[in-house]
Structure formats: C-alpha cells, structure tokens
Amino acid sequence: MAHGKKRLAKPRITLTQTDHKRLTLLAEENADRMASVTDALFVELDRARVVPDRKIAENTVRMGSDVCFSSDLEETRQISLVFPGQADIDKGRISILTPIGAALIGLSTGQSMDWTTRDGRTQRLTVEAVDPPIETSPE
C-alpha cells in the first residue's frame, strides 16, 4: 500500500467556448518553451465540458475570475486568474500558464483538485468562492 496522502480523482470541470478557444491557442503558442505547464493545461482543456459563454455557472473559475481557495498547507489565498501578460504576483494576479492556474481553471466552488508544484510536490486545493469576471465575453 502506498504511503502519503491519497490523490483525488480529477473533478469534472466546465469551460466557456471563448476560454477554451483562447486557452487552446495560448497553450499551442507556448508549448515549446513551457512544455510542462502547457501539457497540464492541454490535459484540462481535453477533459473539460465546453458550454456556450452565457451558460456557465457563476461559481465556475474562468479567465478573469477572482478565486478564493484553500490548500492542504492550511492557507487560504485570494487571486485573480489572468492571461500571462496581466500576471502580477504582488497584486494576486496569477497566470493561467502556471501549475496552479492550470489546476484552477474550470473548477467550481467546493471542488478540490490535486496539482503538482514546479518543484514536483503534490498539493491539494479547494475552491472556497468564485467571483465571475467583471468584463463580459466578446462572443
């Protein structure tokens, strides 16, 4: 029997058509220079249920969402999930092209997900609250 914490099965995730399209292009454009993160993002894109933009639940993490999540390290963080050019760790704006950004996309309030840090450790996060993006989708 394996030692350590049990890994969770990946929860169901949902993405808008716009986020799915934009994130697929972003991952393709960065695949050569950021392979480990884009590989994780491709996995999430492949397994996501894709819905029309207007059909997404408000408590689902999408691009531009403000997210409050807790971790198995007993810390709670409030971040905004953004595209790489908007990232600013000091302002709590986390890029989708980070391990935690790729783990958060598509989750809903109450869902938990294991993710692998850049140094190879497995962490578990739980989404506590989601505020939808302020700006509306272009489509």
CB 112 within 8 A of CB 61: no
CB 89 within 8 A of CB 102: no
pTM: 0.87
> What are the residues whose beta carbons fall under 8 Å from the beta carbon of 109, sequence distance 6 or more?
59, 127, 128, 129, 130
| pLDDT given for residue 7 in this prediction | 62
pLDDT by 10-residue block (mean), the chain, 139 residues: 58 96 97 91 95 96 97 88 95 95 96 86 93 65
What is the spatial distance between Cα 18 and Cα 116, in angstroms, rounded to a whole number? Answer: 26
Q: Does domain 14-131 have CATH number 3.10.50.30?
A: yes
| pLDDT given for residue 8 in this prediction | 65
Q: Which of 98, 13, 109, 106 is nearest to 69 (CA)?
A: 109
| pLDDT given for residue 126 in this prediction | 95
